[in-house]
Amino acid sequence: MIEIEALTKVYGTARVRAVDEVSLRVGAGSVFGFLGPNGAGKTTTIKMLAGLLIPTSGRVRLAGFDVARQRSAAMAQLGAVLEGSRNVYWSLSAWQNLMYFGRLKGLRKARVAERAEDLLTDLGLWKRRNDKVGGFSRGMQQKVAIAVALISEPPIVLLDEPTLGLDVEATRTVKQWITEQARELGTTVLLTTHQLDVAQELCDRVAVMRQGRLVADLPTRELLAGFRERDRYEIRVEGAAPPGFDAVTREGVTTMSVRVRDPREVYDVVERLRAQGAVLESLTQVQPDLEDVFLTLVNEPTDA
Amino acid sequence: MHEVLRAEIGKGLRVQLAHPVGHVITLLISTMMYLGLQFVLGQGELRQDVLPQTLVAIGGYWFLQYAGLVMVADLIEERRAGTFAQAQMTTAPPWLPMLGRLITSSVFGLAVAGVAAVVPMLVAGITVPLRWAALLPAVLLGINALAFTFLMAALALVSPMVGALQSLFTSLVLLLNGSFLPLALYPDWLAVAARVLPTTLGVEALAQALFEGRSLARLWSGGTLPWLLAHTLALTVVAGLLFVRNHRRALQEAS
């Protein structure tokens, strides 16, 4: 479990509040999506969770261990893939990287070797275990980085943009891994990503950060349901677009996107179309996806 | 603790040996530079009266120069790449991986210093008598150089520009620690200034033990050993304090 209490980070003499009184609780075995535009404070928060940055105030506990006061015990609970960095040594082989980082977590050589063999086999890298990571594709390097994060079987894993720059197949492998870790092994996964479809697919709960503050922290379903009042309907009619509607006509079929606040308003729209002689082909409720919700949240005017 | 230290040393050695060209070039330069330098200074001949003493000094210089280079360059590169941050998430205290890095650096420093001293001995027939009394000054000389390396590493935690400062100091050491001329031939004021630099006092104590046959008691009563001890201790304490301060600063200011 990850517990964050009133976490704040203020930078420099300009007193920039990169993270401002953020409080979160991520339950064991869940996949938590930490979203926000660039500069929202996600990476700063991740670094404070990983003990790489000292908070100005507030507290972080990993599986009950305070990162500031019980650093060694807290680090034993954690594996991480950091964004925009190599995470592993390119001049070392996959095997050497895993052996090194496993032992840095205080594990015995024999135990790390067992675990490294399992991970490299699962990732399909066993045959190339002695090759230098620098010669691997981006996807394979990311797999090694994820294996490094998991080498000590930590109960908590932080993944900062784990699928960034990966091709479709590598992305799918990483997504499968994240799901397996949480569902089958009970690992708590906190991930940040700009790929909102990935977040929607994987995360049980999502928090959205904006200008250092949390603007949402809800189970993914609840978050999406909260935006239902802005539901859209897609209506298709045969032939040309009827007057008074914004529509696109392609190959004899006109598609209209209609926003309603109350589902009963849909009857009025259909009635107007019928009155104009339009022949209804289909009517579909368009559910808001995480991208819609995210864009709404980050573009809302601020109080400040 | 031991597992972490062993892992750090093993990783450091493997990373360094993955790119051997730089080390080979340094070894070649180190073997050629000293004799070339002495040949020029001796106006076309190798002066046997100064060779043994300056050889000890050039060994000290190479140890300081190369251990420092390996340590600081490695640290800066890892900070830039991101592997340093990943390695910081260890269960060990932060000084332990740094100690591992220091040991790795000293292995490469020793290798270069060894070759830089042994090859001229063979080529120019320089004889260096081995005496037990020289062991302590030699160890202190090594610690002295490593304390300076640790100091530079502590600076590298917060400033990637530390390379310039390191170059300045190592150049001064090369000029003044006795690699060109024995310290006894310097004017007094220059000898005093030179003794402030790392390795100079160690080279002086080592030379006195090796070539003048002084015992440890004489080195102590003569003042060379106490000064070397004090200098090494001061350098180590300053480096340690700076590391603690800069490590904390790096954790406060990382962006």
**Contact (Cβ atoms closer than 8 angstroms) between residue B192 and residue B204:** no
CA distance A296 to chain B (A): 28
Please name the residue that has the structure tokens 């000064």.
Answer: B227
Average pLDDT over residues A130-149: 91
Residue A194 pLDDT > 90? no
Read out DSSP for A198-223?
Answer: HHHHH-SEEEEEETTEEEEEEEHHHH
* H-type alpha helices, chain B: 2-17, 20-41, 51-81, 83-88, 95-124, 135-156, 162-176, 188-196, 200-211, 216-221, 224-253
- pLDDT for position A302: 62
Which tokens is B41 given?
A: 């200074």
Residue A18 pLDDT more than 80? yes
Residue A215 to residue A235: CA distance in whole angstroms: 33
The per-residue pLDDT for A304 is: 47
**Does A100 score more than 80 pLDDT?**
yes
Spatial separation of the C-alpha atoms in residues B185 and B71, rounded to whole Å: 33
For residue B246, give both structure tokens: 């800069």
Question: Pairing relation of β-strands A232-238 and A253-259?
Answer: antiparallel
- The answer to whether the Cβ–Cβ distance between A92 and B248 falls below 8 Å is no
Q: pLDDT tens across B91-127, in order?
A: 999 889 999 999 999 999 999 999 999 999 999 889 8
Give how far B25 is from chain A: nearest CA, Å.
20
B181 CB neighbour count, 10 Å cutoff: 16
Residue in A44, A47, A104 nearest the CB of B4: A104
Tell me the ipTM for this assembly.
Answer: 0.86
**Do residue A75 and residue B10 have CB atoms under 8 angstroms apart?**
no
Whether the per-residue pLDDT at A240 is higher than 90: the answer is: no
pLDDT < 50: residue spans in chain B: 255
Amino acid at position A180, single letter:
E
Q: Give B109 to chain A, closest Cα distance, Å.
A: 21
> CA–CA separation, A239 vs A140, rounded Å?
51
Give the mean pLDDT of A157-173: 85
| Measured distance CA(A159)–CA(A156) in Å, rounded | 10
Determine the residue type at B125.
G
Among the listed residues B95, B75, B107, B109, the one whose alpha carbon sits nearest the alpha carbon of residue B5 = B95
Mean pLDDT of A102-131: 92
Q: A263 falls in which pLDDT band (50, 70, 90)?
A: confident
Flag whether residue A130 sits within 8 Å of chain B, measured between CB atoms.
no
- Residues B70-87 have pLDDT tens digits of 999 999 988 888 888 888
Spatial separation of the C-alpha atoms in residues A180 and A161, rounded to whole Å? 18
As a whole-number percent, the residues of chain A with pLDDT over 70 amount to 96
Neighbouring residues of B212: CB distance < 8 A, sequence distance ≥ 6: none
At residue A7, what is the residue type? Answer: L
Per-residue confidence (pLDDT) for residue B232, from 0 to 100 = 97
**What is the token pair recorded at A22?**
């953020």
Residue A267, min C-alpha distance to chain B (Å)? 54
Phi, psi torsion values for A253, nearest 5 degrees = -125, 130
Of B71 and A39, more confident: B71
Domains in chain A and their CATH numbers? Answer: 2-225 (3.40.50.300), 229-287 (3.30.70)
Local structure of A286: helix, strand or coil:
strand
| Residue partners of A276: CB distance under 8 A and separation at least 6 | A242, A243, A244
- The mean pLDDT of chain B is 92
Checking A113-120 for CB contacts under 8 A at 24+ apart, the result is A115/A151, A115/A152, A115/A153, A116/A147, A116/A151, A119/A147, A119/A150, A119/A151, A120/A94, A120/A95, A120/A147
Residue of B3, B13, B89 to mutate, interface with A, max A Cβ within 10 Å: B89
What separation in angstroms does the CA of B24 have from each of A123, B21, B66, B74?
37, 5, 12, 17
Q: Quick one: CA torsion of B43, B45, B46, B48, rounded to 10 degrees? A: -100
Best residue in B17, B88, B91, B99 to probe A by mutation, most A CBs within 10 Å? Answer: B91
Which residue from A minimizes the CA distance to B96? A104
C-alpha distances in angstroms, A86 versus A133, A171, A206, B247, B250?
Answer: 10, 17, 26, 21, 19
- Residue A52 CA to residue B253 CA, distance in Å, equals 10
Please list, in sequence order, all residues whose beta carbon lies within 8 angstroms of the beta carbon of residue A262, skipping any fewer than 6 positions away: none
What is the structure's pLDDT at A85? 61
Degrees, nearest 5: CA angle B12-B15-B19: 135
Can you read off the two tokens belonging to residue A75? Answer: 């680090």
